[in-house]
Amino acid sequence: MIRRAKIESMRDMPAKSLGTQGIALLGGLLLGACTTVGPDFKRPEVPWLAAWSGGSLESLASVQQGNRRGQIEEWWRNFNDPVLARLIAEALRLNPNVRTAGIRILEARAQLGIAGSTLYPQVQQVTGEILRVREQVSGGPATSFSVYNAGLGIGWELDFWGKFRRTIESADAGYFVSIAQYDDVQVLMAAQVSSLYCSIRTLEARLQIAHENAALQKRSLEISERLFRSGNHSELDVQQAKA
């Protein structure tokens, strides 16, 4: 009997090892299937942007959060005009387009969080029920009892073909696109305010020059009239000064 048991155990060993190898092979195949399909994103080559740098063309790893960023964004401070700086700050704070672009960043970040949650188990259904029964028998004591019931459904879909990971990549890219659009709107708003402010300042300077020129012409008319009365100028000179 002992010898027979040894023979049977020796026969079972190859079968067990074969099953273990099969499970390991199946696990390797499943892990190998968990890959992303489709080509990876590559930045397109734009020849006319080869000489440009910074902004959205600069990698996130090379962006320095500091004085350099402030100098690039707040270029209008180089004019040393406090009125211009105050107008641009007010426009960036109150303009509806800038505020909408800022809210888009929050929306894109929320969508990125939703896309990332697809890699984890999802709660599909939560149920709860309470049943309370009370019975009154004539001539006897009242009886009552309660029944509690709760249920929870969770689903988890494995990302075999990388569908969820591609969705996360897309949401991540959309998040950074919203940041770039917010920066673009800020740059555009600052440029529009600066352009309008420069136009107003130019018009004020022209008005000042016009007033000074009018004062000089008035003084020239007075001189021409005095010279005409003294006989040193003709009436034509006076009429030209009046014109």
**pLDDT tens digit string along 118-132?**
888 887 788 888 888
**Residue 13 clears pLDDT 50, i.e. is over it:** no
Does pTM surpass 0.85?
no
Looking at the domain assignment, is residue 187 inside a domain? Answer: yes
Cα separations in angstroms, 20 against 8, 16, 27, 159: 19, 6, 11, 25
pLDDT in tens, 77-88: 888 999 999 999
Looking at the domain assignment, is residue 189 inside a domain? Answer: yes
**Residue 5 clears pLDDT 60, i.e. is over it:** no
Q: Averaged over 150-169, what is the pLDDT?
A: 83
What is residue 86's predicted lDDT score, i.e. its pLDDT?
Answer: 93
**Residue 193 clears pLDDT 70, i.e. is over it:** yes
Strand, coil or helix: 171: helix
The domain tally of the chain equals: 1
Residue 57 has phi, psi (to 5 degrees) of -85, -5
**Residue 68 clears pLDDT 80, i.e. is over it:** no
Tokens read off for 72: 């690039």
What is residue 79's predicted lDDT score, i.e. its pLDDT?
Answer: 87
* Tokens 């305010």, residue located: 193
Q: Determine what percent of the chain is predicted with pLDDT higher than 70.
A: 72
**Residue 26 clears pLDDT 60, i.e. is over it:** no
Looking at the domain assignment, is residue 202 inside a domain? Answer: yes
DSSP-assigned beta bridge partners for residue 134: 144
Domain span including residue 99: 74-120+162-243
Cα separations in angstroms, 24 against 14, 29, 161: 15, 9, 20
Looking at the domain assignment, is residue 64 inside a domain? Answer: no
The average confidence (pLDDT) of the chain is 76
What is residue 149's predicted lDDT score, i.e. its pLDDT?
Answer: 87
Looking at the domain assignment, is residue 195 inside a domain? Answer: yes
